[in-house]
């Protein structure tokens, strides 16, 4: 019986990691895709590589999160040692995340795990949850993270914008097919049907006779220290996106791995490897749903705004991971994009309301799932 339970725990954690990848993998590069800096396929490849790197070094740089998400201090020790406890928590969290993914909503695996831990722990201990620990160590960072990221993005972007103008770097709009620029015009919005920014149209290229995707993209003209402003910003944008994905792998991997390490039943290095691989596979298969929501629907972004959002997200998540604070990459990332939308006075309130509603119900839903599953498996 014990071996069968361990097998199910292992498979459940793989499913949770897969669900996490499906919902989270693309979030770090959503701005690359949303600003038309690169294609969906190229953005996904970059996200996969940098997330995998973050996962591989998680044990060395974010080991504190493993301790936090084993449930120590949140539920009684005898509950943590129950073999069915990580099974119930894993299934509950995975169900919450994969359900949101199929609804095209970016939700937090961190919230899902916390709710599942609390729900399963509450029923198993007959109400013996340490509510003080829950509010101090879990709820507080979850609230502060997105609020702080909104504030930072809203504050930093105008500063970068003023710096750009002082360097005589001007914004322009290009009409492109693939990597080929057909025409450019000054400013971030241009009159004429052919220059509808962020609108995709299919046209026929006379030279090839092949219908390809045409689009408008905001860009920059000028030089910084002898380097093309466009090339420099695109490079910084790629690096900042990679930082977000690296930080996400660093932040999420130990939280999921913790379920395998409860009771020291699995090898830690093997656990990190299989969780990282499952996250990557989930992202490669199902990322498109979240890519469209975060990259195109929340707000319009030019490369400068997208770089700012990524920089804020990457630094916040990386810093929190290093000190073992359980912030949500999803909430921080979305918060940064929201902050840009507020600064830019362009934000899709309907999409924003759907995302916020998903955030609100994530924790109680996973709590209920955890409670029901722990009760059913006991």
Q: Kindly report the pTM of this predicted structure.
A: 0.76
| Longest Cα separation, the chain | 72
What is the C-alpha separation between 47 and 249, in angstroms, rounded?
A: 10
Residues 7 and 137 reside in one and the same domain = yes
What is the C-alpha separation between 47 and 284, in angstroms, rounded?
A: 9
Residues 295 and 373 reside in one and the same domain = yes
The percent of the chain in helix, strand and coil, each rounded to the nearest 5, is 70, 10, 20
The reported pLDDT for the residue numbered 294 is 67
The reported pLDDT for the residue numbered 366 is 93
Query: From the CA atom positions of the chain, what is the Rg in Å?
Result: 22
The reported pLDDT for the residue numbered 295 is 62
Q: What is the DSSP string of 249-293?
A: HHHHHHHHHHHHHTTS-S-HHHHHHHHHHHHHHHHHHHHHHHHHI
The reported pLDDT for the residue numbered 284 is 84
Residues 268 and 344 reside in one and the same domain = yes
Residues 101 and 137 reside in one and the same domain = yes
Q: How many CB atoms lie within 10 A of CB 73?
A: 14
Judge whether 273 lies within some domain. Answer: yes
Judge whether 147 lies within some domain. Answer: yes
Judge whether 230 lies within some domain. Answer: no
Q: Whose CA is closest to 232, among 221, 247, 243, 241? A: 221
The reported pLDDT for the residue numbered 196 is 45
Domain count, the chain: 2
What region does 145 belong to: left with phi over 0, alpha with psi -120 to 50, or beta?
alpha
Mean pLDDT by 10 residues, the chain (378 residues): 80 91 82 78 90 86 73 77 88 91 81 89 82 71 85 92 84 64 57 41 42 58 78 86 88 86 76 89 79 65 82 88 79 85 79 80 91 90
What is the C-alpha separation between 209 and 211, in angstroms, rounded?
A: 7
The reported pLDDT for the residue numbered 16 is 92
Judge whether 231 lies within some domain. Answer: no
**Which residues touch 168 (CB under 8 Å, ≥6 apart)?**
222
Residues 155 and 214 reside in one and the same domain = no
User: Token pair of 70, please?
Assistant: 């084993």
Enclosing domain of residue 204? 170-221
Judge whether 234 lies within some domain. Answer: no
Residues 191 and 249 reside in one and the same domain = no
The reported pLDDT for the residue numbered 371 is 93
Residues 138 and 184 reside in one and the same domain = no
The reported pLDDT for the residue numbered 203 is 42
Residues 156 and 175 reside in one and the same domain = no
């Amino acid at each position: 019986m014990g071996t069968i339970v361990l097998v199910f725990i292992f498979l459940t954690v793989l499913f949770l990691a897969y669900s996490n990848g499906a919902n989270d993998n693309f979030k770090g590069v959503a701005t690359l895709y949303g600003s038309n800096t690169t294609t969906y396929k190229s953005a996904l490849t970059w996200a996969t590589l940098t997330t995998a790197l973050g996962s591989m070094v998680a044990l060395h740089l974010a080991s504190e999160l493993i301790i936090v998400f084993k449930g120590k201090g949140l539920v009684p020790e005898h509950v943590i040692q129950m073999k069915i406890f990580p099974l119930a928590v894993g299934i509950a969290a995975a169900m919450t995340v994969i359900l949101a993914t199929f609804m095209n909503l970016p939700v937090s695996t961190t919230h899902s795990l916390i709710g599942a831990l609390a729900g399963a722990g509450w029923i198993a201990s007959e109400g013996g949850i340490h509510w003080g620990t829950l509010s101090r160590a879990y709820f507080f960072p979850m609230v502060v993270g997105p609020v702080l990221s909104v504030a930072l993005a809203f504050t930093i972007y105008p500063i970068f914008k003023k710096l750009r103008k002082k360097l005589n770097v001007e914004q322009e709009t290009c009409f492109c097919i693939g990597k080929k620029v057909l025409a450019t015009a000054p400013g971030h919005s241009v009159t004429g049907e052919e220059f509808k920014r962020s609108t995709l149209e299919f046209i026929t290229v006379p030279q090839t006779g092949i219908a390809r995707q045409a689009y408008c993209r905001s860009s920059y003209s000028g030089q910084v220290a002898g380097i093309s402003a466009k090339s420099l910003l695109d490079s910084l944008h790629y690096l900042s996106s990679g930082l977000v994905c690296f930080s996400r792998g660093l932040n999420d991997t130990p939280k999921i791995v913790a379920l395998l390490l409860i009771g020291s039943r699995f090898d830690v290095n093997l656990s990190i490897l299989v969780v990282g691989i499952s996250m990557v596979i989930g992202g490669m298969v199902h990322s498109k749903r979240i890519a469209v929501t975060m990259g195109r629907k929340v707000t319009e972004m030019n490369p400068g705004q997208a770089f700012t959002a990524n920089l804020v997200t990457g630094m916040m998540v990386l810093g929190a991971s290093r000190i073992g604070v359980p912030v949500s990459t999803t909430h921080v990332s979305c918060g940064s994009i929201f902050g840009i939308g507020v600064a830019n006075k362009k934000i899709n309130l309907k999409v924003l309301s759907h995302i916020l509603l998903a955030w609100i119900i994530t924790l109680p839903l996973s709590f209920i799932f955890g409670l029901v599953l722990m009760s059913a498996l006991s």
